[in-house]
Structures are given as structure tokens and as C-alpha cells.
Structure 1
Amino acid sequence: MGAIVHIGYHKTGTTWFQDSFYPAVRNRRYLPRATARAAFLDAGALHFDPVKARRIIGDAPGNTILCEENLSGGLHNGGLAGNLSKDVADRIRRTLPDADIVIFVRDPLSAIASAWLQYVKGGGTFGLHRYLFGRESLSPVAPERDEAPGFRLDHFDAIALIDHYDALFGRDRVHVFRYEDFRADPHGFATAYAARFGLEVDLARIDWGTRNPSLSRPLLWLARAMNLFTRRAVADKSWLIHIPGCYGLSRRLLRAANGSGRFGRPLKTQDIIPAVLADRLRAHFAPGAPRLARRLHQQEETQQDGGTVLSWRQRPQPYADPKQSPSYRR
């Protein structure tokens, strides 16, 4: 038995797994995010020591669960052009060579829209286009390119990182799931997921609430306006004046307002990404889409061994609101 290392991606339900699902598992030891970060992210690339990482993880590392979305790379910096994402995979392989790697993927356009909303929730002030393509306005030798790496579309071309993990661990130990399947039927998905990994968990005691709900349009504009009065917490933003405590206060007010349901419906992908930009993004991700589809199909085929597997009967849908049929157990 090897450790389960759930590396993300961001915006694929990892907060729910960290807060609700994994802590409820009875037959494995779930380690907090801080432990995963200390083991795999704190050391510099030239100073990483797998022996020290195993010491941080503790006794019986093969019986542990780690879940940290930053293991797949930072959301707003593209995993440092993929360098951190790739290096962390190597770190995990050197530390836990028998680990099962869990990767959740999401429709790239939906993930990008959610990433920008998270940027705004985190203190960002710029619009979507500046968030996505702000680096293109910089000189090729501008120091900002090195000092503050920005958003990268390639970060959401997940098949590249999946291929790297396949090469390191073997395809049978790299498990890829669609966030859309989890979202369509959380209870059914969790039941099949627990069975897939032999996890003992009382699903009746789990909180199934949403962890990071989307903002409505009025609250989105309000958040960007309030963020002008704090220099926290994202790197690429502007502010008029820094008012100590404003960031924390604005976050609490926005959460309360968003939870009240009185400020309109949550924004969907098509509300955030204009059609012309959506076409541009689709074209960017088009080469990787069939490769990812084949990878998921091959994974399902290799799991047809009489055991319990996760499987989906997925139907093509518009990018903005994918509707997959629920996961099921067999």
C-alpha cells in the first residue's frame, strides 16, 4: 500500500476534500496541508532532501493521505512556468516512490474563469484580460518577468503534467478524475472514490456544502473596488491607499453578502469570458483535449478488473456549463 498524494489542480474541489472528506477517512492517516507543504514545497530545488521529507511525513508514510493543490503549481503564477510543477513531481517520486497520485482536472475555460474570480477574492483589481495576458505588454527583458511570474494558460493544459507523472510513477498509479463528475453527483462520486482506494469513511457524517462559491456580478465589482484599499494579497494588482484591516473586513462582508443570496446569481463561465476570447482559449487548448480524453478512456479500460472503479458516461456539452452524468459504482 502506498500513500495517496492528491496534488490538485486548483479549483477542482480540493478544499472540500481537505476539510470534509479526507479527515473523515478512518483507515488512513490524513496529514494537514501544512505538512504536505513542509515536505514538498518549503525546500529550494537544489536543497530538497527526500529523507527529511519522509521524516516530516512521519511513521508509516504508506498509510497516509496528503492533499495540497499547490503541489500542481501556483494558481496565479502557472507553477513558475511549470518548473515547480515538474520538480514537485520528482520530489514526490524520490520521497514516496510507491504513492498513488490523484489529479483532478477541469474544463480549462471554466477553470480559468474560476481562477480569475479567486484572484479578485484574493485582493486582485485587474480585469480578466489583464490577468490573463498582462505579461504580453512587458518588454522581453523586463525585470517583472523574473521577479513576479504571472498567469500562464499552459498551466491548465493538464495532460502535460499527467504525462510527466505517468512517466515517473507508471500509469496504473496515476489516477485522473474530472471535477465536473464530482460536481454533478458529489455523494455518488465520493462513494465510488472511497471504494476505488479502499477508504473507510462514513459519508453520512460529511458536510456536502460548497466551499468557494462564485460571486454575483454586483459583488464582483464591489470586491474589485474594495481591493483598491489594500495592498494584499496577490502580487499583480493596484491600490489607491492601504488601509490596515481592510482586506480581512472586506472578505468577511463579501462572504456574508454572497451567502445571503440577495445580490443575484453566481456568475457562470459564459458571463465572465466573452465569446471572442472563449474561441481564442478553445483554440489554445484544442491540441491537448483529445489526448486527455484518451488518457481518461484508457484509465477506465485498465480498471475493468472486476473491482470497484470510477466511470463516467460523458456527453459533449458547451464549454460553459458541462453536464456529465453522475459517477456510478459497479
Structure 2
Amino acid sequence: MGPIVHIGYHKTGTTWFQDSFYPAVRNRRYIPRATVRSAFLDAGALHFDPAQARARLGEAPDKLILCEENLSGGLHNGGLAGNLSKDVADRILRTLPNAQIVIFVRDPLSAIISAWLQYVKGGGTFSLKRYMFGRDRLSPVAPERDEAPGFRLDHFDTIRLINHYDNLFGPRQVHVFRYEDFRADPRGFAAAYAARFGLDVDLAHIDWGRRNPSLSRPLLWLARGLNLFTRRAVADKGWLVHIPGWYGLSRRLLRAANASGRFGRPLATKDLLDPALASRLRAHFAPGEQLLAARLQWQARTDQEDKTVLRWRQRPHLHDGPQQSPSYRR
């Protein structure tokens, strides 16, 4: 089948796959994130050498599993306006031309909210709207536009990168899944996912705990306040004074407070997006989401033609047609 290269996106459960699922696979070799980053992200665009990348990944490339969400582009910089996302796809093709590409997608509004919450956890101080539209306040020739790439809505129009991988590898080597399906039934999804790719994994011994839980409203405000005393770890932020060691200490305090469950329920998308902004974003992403639904429907029909496919019901989605039904190998 060739190596499995799971490129993300961010905020679609990749941490769980990296920590719990892929390391438990017994008939393939899971490559640590640091090695994947070294192979595909360290070299500049004009200095990348596929032979060196293969050497870093090691022997028996067809038995490898790679999972690194930054292969789809940085979360807070829009994949450098998509340039890094696009170039990495070419790097993977030159290095592992028979790779099976795995792409998880998420409702764009939910993904954006999750990205902002991750930004705050990572030291960010700005509001959601400032995070999303901060570049709009800059002059068209402001140096910050080039020196510090920021958030981009287009990064969450995932069908564009999916189409690029389809063109490079062929759509039958590109496997697209909705994060919402995984979250709705993690065990059922994981069983079907393992069967699709022929992965030997004992699901009875998997840790099914959630990674990166969302913050409650009080902890969200507390985090933004604490972040004013460190210049780490995101580029686009403000701070009053930098206290060495404060970032690590504040992260540990927030994690402990969040894990205690004493500060309210985790925030959901509807808690943070006002109706007007949500409607604006829905309209922005609607064309891409319709194309994504059509791509998933094509994948479902193609899978159904394969008699070795295990059919599995998917959660309905806003843009999915009535025939949407992803399927996985027995």
C-alpha cells in the first residue's frame, strides 16, 4: 500500500493519533514528529533534497507511518499564505511517491475557534476578531505583512489543498475524513480506520482520553491576562513585561485548573462567535464546503465499488448530500 502520511489539519485529533494510536500499530513503524519535521520542514524550498529526507526516515519506507499537522501548514500563519502547504506536498511526492495521504478536515468555524483557543493557550493575548482580522488594519505595504505572516481564513478552505494532493498523487491515494465523525464515535472510527489501511492495532489497550481540552470562559480570560507577562510563544501578541519562566509556570497552572473541572464547562463555537460573524464566515466558506462534500461523496462511491470495503455511517453535515456515507476497508 505504501507509507501512510497523515498531514493534519491542525485541531482534528492529530495529537491523539500521535500519542495513542499510531505508536500502538504493530505492523508498521511510526516515525516521531521530530524526525518528520527534520525530513520535510527543516530545509528551505530551494535546498530540499528528497534523498536526504528518505535517509532521515530510515529503511522500509513502505512500512512507515508519518503524522505531522504542520505538513499542512502552520496554524497561526496560514501555511505562509499556502506556499509552505503547497511546497510540502511536492516534497512528499518527490520523497515518497507511492504514499497514501491522509487528511482530516473540520467544520471551518469550529476549526477557527479551536485555533484561537490554541493561540491563547500558546501565549496569545488578542481577542478573536483581532486574531482573525488583525492584518486588515495594516497598510498594504506595511513590513509586518511580509515579516510576520499571520492568520488567514483561506487556510481553512481545505478543499484547495485536498485538490492539490489529488492532482499530485491521484485521488485514490488521498483519503479525506471528517473530524466530526471521529469525535462522534472514536472507537468505531478507529476500528474502521485501522481496517481501511490494514493496521494491526489492539484497540482494547488504547488511551481514549481527549487531548488539548478547550478552556472555560473564566480560564480563557485568566489565560489572556497571564499571557501579558511573557513574550512567548506566539508571534502576534502583546505583553507588559517578560518574566523568565512565567510561560511554563502559567501553562502548568492553567492545565491543572482546567483538569479540575471547577471553572465551568469548555467553551463551544456558538459561545464565541456572534451570529453576524458566524453568518459572514459561513458565506465565505460555503463554496469550498460544497466542493468538499462532493469530494467526500466521490470517495464514498469509489469505496463502495470496492467489495472489501466496510461501510460506516457518517454524521450528517451542513453541505453533505443524502448519499454521503464514508466507508472503510474490512
Structure 2 length normalisation: TM-score?
0.96
How far apart in 2 are the matches of 1:240 and 1:42?
33
Equivalence for 2:118: 118
Give the AA of the match of 2:121: K
Show CA shifts across 1:186-245 (max 9, x none).
Answer: 000000000000000000111000011000000000000000000000000000000111
Equivalence for 1:164: 164
How far apart in 1 are the matches of 2:301 and 2:328?
15
Mapping for residues 65-84 of structure 1, pairs under 5 Å: 65-84=65-84
Shift of 1:302: 0.7
- Matched residue SS, 1:244: coil
Contact 1:8–1:71 (CA<8 Å) still a contact in 2? yes
- Say if 2:273 is the partner of 1:259: no
Equivalence for 1:273: 273
Contact 2:195–2:328 (CA<8 Å) still a contact in 1? no
How far apart in 1 are the matches of 2:162 and 2:253?
39
Equivalence for 1:302: 302
Q: Please provide the CA RMSD for this pair.
A: 1.6
How far apart in 2 are the matches of 1:310 and 1:262?
41
- Say if 2:282 is the partner of 1:282: yes
How far apart in 1 are the matches of 2:28 and 2:112?
33
CA 1:188–1:295: 2 relative to 1, 3 Å:
same
Equivalence for 1:193: 193
Show CA shifts across 1:103-162 (max 9, x none).
Answer: 000000000000000000000000000000000000001000000000000000000000
CA 1:328–1:61: 2 relative to 1, 3 Å:
closer
How far apart in 2 are the matches of 1:162 and 1:315?
21
- Say if 2:46 is the partner of 1:46: yes
Shift of 1:327: 8.1
How far apart in 2 are the matches of 1:75 and 1:198?
30
CA 1:316–1:159: 2 relative to 1, 3 Å:
closer
Shift of 1:312: 3.2
Contact 2:106–2:180 (CA<8 Å) still a contact in 1? yes
Give the AA of the match of 1:16: W
- Matched residue SS, 2:309: coil
Show CA shifts across 1:58-78 (max 9, x none).
Answer: 101111000000000000000
Shift of 1:315: 2.3
Structure 1 length normalisation: TM-score?
0.96
How far apart in 2 are the matches of 1:20 and 1:213?
16
Mapping for residues 3-152 of structure 1, pairs under 5 Å: 3-152=3-152
Contact 2:311–2:326 (CA<8 Å) still a contact in 1? no
Shift of 1:307: 1.4
Contact 1:189–1:328 (CA<8 Å) still a contact in 2? no
How far apart in 2 are the matches of 1:9 and 1:38?
19
Mapping for residues 221-236 of structure 1, pairs under 5 Å: 221-236=221-236
How far apart in 1 are the matches of 2:184 and 2:253?
29
Show CA shifts across 1:245-274 (max 9, x none).
Answer: 110011001001001100000000000111
Shift of 1:290: 1.0
How far apart in 2 are the matches of 1:310 and 1:11?
26
How far apart in 1 are the matches of 2:80 and 2:32?
24
Show CA shifts across 1:19-51 (max 9, x none).
Answer: 000000000000000011011000000000000
Shift of 1:169: 0.4
Shift of 1:14: 0.0
How far apart in 2 are the matches of 1:261 and 1:328?
36
Contact 1:184–1:325 (CA<8 Å) still a contact in 2? no
Shift of 1:310: 5.8
How far apart in 1 are the matches of 2:289 and 2:298?
14
Tell me how many residue pairs correspond in the alignment.
Answer: 325
Equivalence for 1:321: none
- Deviant stretches of 4+, over 6 Å: 324-330
Give the AA of the match of 2:233: A
Give the AA of the match of 1:15: T
CA 1:105–1:310: 2 relative to 1, 3 Å:
farther
Shift of 1:309: 4.0
Give the AA of the match of 1:91: R
- Matched residue SS, 1:287: helix
